[in-house]
Amino acid sequence: MNENRFQFPDQTAFYSGKVRDVYTIADKWLVMVASDRISAFDVILPRPIPFKGQVLNQIAAYMLRATTNICPNWLTDVPVPNVSVGIKCIPFKIEMVVRGNLTGHSWRMYASGKRTLCGVTMAEGMKENDFFASPIITPSTKAETGHDEDISKQEILSRQLATPEEWNVLEKYALKLFERGKEIAKQRGLILADTKYEFGKIDDAIYLMDEIHTPDSSRYFYAEGFEERQERGERQKQLSKEFVREWLIANDFMGKEGQVVPEMNDQWVETISQRYIELYEKLIGESFKPEKPSYDEVYSRVERSLSKLMNTHEH
């Protein structure tokens, strides 16, 4: 992982996540570098995927810009294809997971016989991937370590992770963002099945943070043939990184104690890279322009972006 670390002017903190490196500037701004690292089952896989960072960062930026009339968000600039610069918020320790379809975690719960998830009742007689009558919110807590955990609205309020007023805003924003995400997806022949949003505060205002509607934070189905596949009980065609998880499972890896990450050969790394690029083109509707700026180029573009930001906010 010999990815070069930067040292920006006025830098006050640095954090390296599973797939992103986050630099805090003057305790007020964030520089988020989307690396080409790829993770699954909470494990960083041994080899980076070319252009993955650029793909995810550009999709997130596109989606954040397409939702500014719904709620304010943290993003101010994308100086480099895989770098976003924005405002530092104080995060809510919850993720707003919105589900339009019974899939993934919700389906696993349902199949095990449960009919409530995070305090939300799920109707009887549903099949995997069926649409809910209307989208549901199934929040999870942001775990400092390990896996996120399901939590209900009641628990969020009683643990004071949000006030009732804040919860109403979070709920309203999450549902409206999901609606917009579904509209964008529909134009591209896709169904946004589920996704998650993270929010934070700046003074008293609630801001949308992080990435939205990317294949790493969302699950998309192909709309064409969806109903027919549902009727025949066939698997739905997905546009997500599910294919990477499936490859790992097929190779006996699910992130459990004692399991070894399978070997990733050049051909497989290239395949994953191509799938991410295809994903970008399908979601955004434009051809992907790969860029690999040098370390110095990235540094100077980010520095310019930051000094502009600071000058604007000094008065």
Using a pLDDT cut of 90, give the percent of the chain over it. Answer: 86
| pLDDT for position 1 | 36
The span from the CA of 260 to the CA of 274, in Å, is 25
Sketch out the chain's domains with CATH numbers: 11-89+269-314 (3.30.200.20), 90-239 (3.30.470.20)
**What single-letter DSSP state applies at residue 73?**
B
Which tens digit of pLDDT belongs to each residue from 254-312?
Answer: 888 899 999 999 999 999 999 999 989 999 999 999 999 999 999 999 999 999 998 88
Question: Which of 62, 63, 85, 60 has the alpha carbon at shortest distance from 74?
Answer: 85
Contact 213, 195 (CB under 8 A): yes
The mean pLDDT values, 10 residues at a time, for the chain of 315 residues are 77 94 96 94 91 96 98 98 97 97 95 97 98 98 77 97 98 98 96 97 96 92 97 92 88 91 94 93 95 95 95 74
Tokens at 45, concatenated: 């896989």
